[in-house]
Structure 1
Amino acid sequence: MSDQESSTSASQTEGEVDGEMDEEMESEGQRNGPVPSLSNFSSSLRAVIRIKQKYQAMKKRRQELAVGLGGAGTLTGAPLRTSPKIFTFDGDPLATYSTHSTLSSAAPQRKKRRRRKRVMFPNRGRRRAPPKQEQSRAKYCLYLLFAIVFIQVYNAIENLDDHVLRYDLEGLEKTLRREVFGQQGAVEGLLSHLKDYLSTYVHNKPLVVSVHGPSGVGKSHLGRLLAGHFRSVVGETLVLQYYVLHHCPQEADALQCARDLSAVISEMVERAEEEEKIPLFIFDEAEHMHDEILDALQQLMATKQSNEYLNAIYLFLSNLGHAHITKHMLHNSSSISTASGRHSNLVKELTPILRNTLEKLHSLWTEADLLPLGLLEKGHVMECFLDEMTREGFYPDHTNIERLAGEITYYPEVGGHEYSQTGCKQVVAKVNLL
């Protein structure tokens, strides 16, 4: 059936329904007899009641018509039914089944839910194998890198130890503690500078140490001990002891002396670079050095020089600033009892004063590490006599040593300490008179 035909039939059906409703209302009026008088009601109320009755009849008729049109498979003229017919064994089974299937097809169908598959686990007796995680091969490369870095660091530490052992600083420490009297604090400071510098071979500047102190406190003796030790470990050609009053006594020859000294130092540092060693340059009586020599040394110690000039040790021995050291020792010895405390206080308080004094003389001491030596007490002088007499083969008589030590000039006693004015400078001369 086409759309036009269906619309035509629907309109005809609605017209027939309206006509039948009017006929039924008239027939019902005839059956019931005469209609009661409605004179008591208003005309509007009568219209509302009539419209309501007509609407209810129309609604009921349309519902029955819609149920009849929904069963398209039924025969034409079959009685309309408003409820589905349940299948029973009474009557025609085919007609009953067809009516039930027709009505059930018109009802909306529910979507069937898809059942999830059950997860099957193995028996309890069997163990489930854990999932295998793929390991990256880069992890082994990382382990190898860690091993290489560890070996490199370990070798570097071993090389540092080997480099320090080459100079035998432990033997040098024993020698200085045994041979140098009354300067244990200064000895510890000097060894600390040497250990820090000699732990590596490549440096960004040379080590410059300036030792200061009054006459007879052991400056020249300290330089001789250092020179002898370094000659035994690095060789005779890499150690220079320079005495200004001996190598350059005339001031007129200062410029030529500076040139000769520069040539000697250049030759030594080049030889040391070939042998991978650090040379030692000792300048005793530095207070007599001329400005031309100091200028030449400052140029050699400049950081702009090549590497071979930076790998060197310069030791200056002088009595510059001895007045400040003597004054400090005499005024502060009573407040500090231990020798190490006296030396630490001496370094702490005198370093700024000495640096200010030395910088006025020459700019060479600007970058130098200052190391002051204190005055020697009477007990230290007696140790000097004992050591010298043993060297000369004399019997170390304690009474004789006290007598010789008493002939030395001392400062007035301060805080229980009796300091020598000349230190151990006259010890050798008095032992030679025995």
Structure 2
Amino acid sequence: MDVGISLSNGYSLEYKILIARCYLFGKCCETGDCRVVNNITGLEADLNGQLHGQHLAKEVVIRAVQEFLQSPRPEKALVLSFHGWSGTGKNFVARMLASHLYRDGPKSECVRVFISLFHFPHHKYVDSYKDQLKKQLTETVQLCKQSLFIFDEAEKLHFSLLDAIKPFMARYDNRDQVDYRRSIFLFLSNLGGNTINEVTLDFWRAGRAREEISVEFLEQRLWRELQEPAENGYARSHLLEENLIDFFVPFLPLEYHHVKLCARDAFLARGLPYTEAALDEVARTMVFVPREEKLFSAQGCKSVSQRINYFLP
């Protein structure tokens, strides 16, 4: 088989060499791209075992990603928007997705991470940023048909940057003869955290389990907060009004026992022994709010892995 003839000229030389090797050794991957593994079983197992206090995030992410990957011809790229306080697991889930969808995990050439204030710090250069961003998205999809784009601190992105990448997330229009329908976009934001926390606190005060909270119950409240006039890209861009976001994924605030589980995981990850007393000591170093109930960790599980150093023999 003449691999060079069979492949589109739009693919990079590295991609052609990769596929050629697959054919030569008779080991073509099920996905058609050896860099893509799409291990949904492993993803689900790790979410269940390592993501604490987030029944909604687990449910929505697994369902959305699995259905998207199983679709033979998706109409558009998959767009997920993660919302909640810092330290509740948004970045953790994003990294986990990269690790289970790609052979090389977050380091894969199929994965691009953009941090708003790091990559796009100055509004006066927004026109230049738009051109650079669109170029990077196009080149990544040409290199890897199933690409993963992660935008951290998404609420701080200039609204015109969000609008500039709308066509990449919209229904397929043969843009630049590049097919973006197999791409996945993740937006990570602290926006909506106050609404999510208020709902969780109301359930606790009413004596109801947090697991009773449904996505449907949160969705309208979350939508209203995202559209409030403010200096955030969501409110000023056209992402919401054009319904380009497929799923809003709420991350609930973490309680004391969730922080203990994070501490346990941090000990295990370093191969260190631990006791219940040690886990309690780590959890007690965190700040809990509101002032009256002291129910939720103000930092989620952020910094827990560093704090265990203070309790080592």
What TM-score results when the alignment is normalised by the length of structure 2?
A: 0.76
Partner of 2:82: 211
Secondary structure (helix, strand or coil) at the match of 1:380 reads helix
* In 2, Cα distance between equivalents of 1:401 and 1:311: 42
Partner residue of 1:266?
A: 138
Q: Distance in 1 between matches of 2:299 and 2:121?
A: 25
Task: Please name the residue that 2:124 is paired with.
Answer: 252
* Partner of residue 406, structure 1: 284
Q: 1:323 to 1:226 in 2, by over 3 A?
A: same
Task: Give secondary structure in 2 for the equivalent of 1:209.
Answer: strand
**Equivalent position of 2:295 in the other structure:** 418
Structure 1 partner of 2:173 = 305
**1: distance between equivalents of 2:264 and 2:280?**
10
Select which of 243, 249, 267 maps to 1:389. Answer: 267
Unmatched tracts of structure 2, length 5 or more? 1-29
Distance (Å, rounded) in 2 between the aligned partners of 1:231 and 1:249: 29
Matches within 5 A, 1:314-393: 314-335=185-206, 337-344=208-215, 346-357=217-228, 360-365=235-240, 366-368=243-245, 369-393=247-271
Asked whether the equivalents of residues 253 and 296 of structure 2 are also in contact (C-alpha less than 8 Å), the reply is yes
Aligned-residue offset at 1:400: 1.6
Amino acid at match of 1:403: E
Partner of 1:240: 112
In 2, the alpha carbon distance for the partners of 1:212 and 1:218 equals 10
Q: Which amino acid aligns with 2:304?
A: V
| Identical columns (%) | 27
SS of equivalent to 1:241: strand
- Matched residue SS, 1:167: coil
Counterpart-to-counterpart distance in 1, 2:158 and 2:52: 31
8 Å contact 2:113–2:149 — kept in the other structure?
yes
1:163-202: CA deviation from partner (whole Å, max 9, x where unpaired): 6x95121111111222211112211111111111111242
Q: CA deviation at 1:422?
A: 1.8
Alpha-carbon distance, 1:373 to partner: 0.9
3-state DSSP of counterpart to 2:81? strand
* CA shift for structure 1 position 409: 1.5
Deviation for aligned residue 1:380: 0.3
Q: Which moved more, 1:248-257 or 1:169-178?
A: 248-257
- Match of 1:232, SS? coil
Instruction: Find the residue that maps to 2:297 and give its secondary structure.
Output: coil
Structure with the higher helix share, 1 or 2: 1
5 Å matches for 1:149-228? 167-228=38-99
Task: Count residues with an aligned counterpart.
Answer: 268
Instruction: Flag the structure with larger Rg.
Output: 1
Greater relative contact order (Cα < 8 A, sep 6+): 2
Instruction: Note if contact 2:152-2:188 (Cα within 8 Å) is conserved in structure 1.
Output: yes
- How far apart are residue 249 of structure 1 and its match? 2.5
The letter of the residue matching 2:251 is L
How far did 1:413 drift? 8.8
User: How well do the aligned residues superpose, as a CA RMSD in angstroms?
Assistant: 2.8
Gaps of 5+ in 1: 1-161
Q: In the alignment, what sits opposite 1:283? A: 151
2:159–2:234 contact (8 Å) kept in structure 1: no
Q: Secondary structure at the match of 1:316?
A: strand
CA distance in 1, matches of 2:44, 2:255: 22
* 1:321 shift after superposition: 1.7
Q: By how many angstroms is 1:389 displaced?
A: 2.1
Please say if residues 201 and 311 of structure 1, whose CA atoms lie closer than 8 Å, have aligned partners that are also in contact: no
After superposition, the C-alpha distances for 1:192-236 in whole angstroms (9 at most, x for unaligned) are 111111112422211111010012111111111112222228982
